[in-house]
Structure formats: C-alpha cells, structure tokens
Amino acid sequence: MPAEITKKRILHVDDEPDTLKVVKTILEKEGYEVVSVQDGKKALQQVELDNFSLLLLDIMMPDMSGWDLFTRISQIKSTYNVVFLTVLEIPEERLNELKEAGIRDYIVKPFERDDLVKRVKAVLGD
C-alpha cells in the first residue's frame, strides 16, 4: 500500500484579496495546500504555528513590508524557501543581494499562470 502523500504547504501573504484568491486557486489545482493571510502580523503567527514548504510574500503591504517580514521570519527559521510576488521591478544588483540573503526567486505581478506554477515547482524541487 503506498505511503500517504503529504501536500506541500505554502503560506501566501498579500494585502490584495483578489491576488490571494487567484494564487490559492492556481496552486491548489497543482496539489499544494495554500494558507492565505493579508498582513505581516498574521503571517508571523502562521510561521510560528506551522511549517511551510514555501513562503510567497508581497513586498508592498500597509502594516509590514515584505522586506521586513522576510527579515523577521529569517530570525525565526532561516531555512524557509521564500519567493517575493510583487509589482515592484527589482534591479539585478538588489536581486543578487536578496538571493544572498536567502530569497529563492521573485515573480512580478501581473504574472502568467504557467510561469507561477513553473517557478514554484522549481523552488520546491517538484
């Protein structure tokens, strides 16, 4: 009898409800379990409560930016796979700094469905 397959869990943090809904729908159809929260404070609570295979973080949020959230999460557990999902264009030099700090990738909104899926799978090794 095959072992029970455990879904990889993704925490998606974005202050835009429509983006949360779209990403959740896309990634759940790919077999992932997605927990969606709208602010940094709720994200920190989730990280402390649970283990995730991937964190998708928006950068521009009202209460705590994705940069600040990444820094705080890194202090809790430095081994998370973190991908920024943002409208901001990140210059190559800054992106290299972020990758050195532990960011695995960044995806620019609006994104193509297939590109999102491909890049999430690449980070997770699927």
Amino acid in position 43 = A
Domains of the chain, residue spans = 9-124
Q: Give tens-digit pLDDT for 46-93.
A: 998 888 999 999 999 998 999 899 999 988 887 889 999 989 888 888
In the CATH scheme, what is the code of domain 9-124? 3.40.50.2300
* Alpha helices per DSSP H over the chain: 17-29, 40-49, 66-76, 92-101, 113-124
What is the model's pLDDT at position 5? Answer: 58
Max CA-CA distance within the chain?
50
Q: In degrees, to the nearest 5, what angle opens at C-alpha 43 toward C-alphas 101 and 46?
A: 110
What are the beta bridge partners of residue 53?
A: none
The model scores a pTM over 0.85:
yes
Burial class of 52 by CB neighbour count within 10 A (0 to 12, 13 to 18, 19+): buried
Q: Give tens-digit pLDDT for 26-46.
A: 999 999 999 999 999 999 999
What is the model's pLDDT at position 16? Answer: 96
In angstroms, the CA 9 to CA 6 distance is 9
CB atoms within 10 A of CB 100: 8
What is the model's pLDDT at position 3? Answer: 46
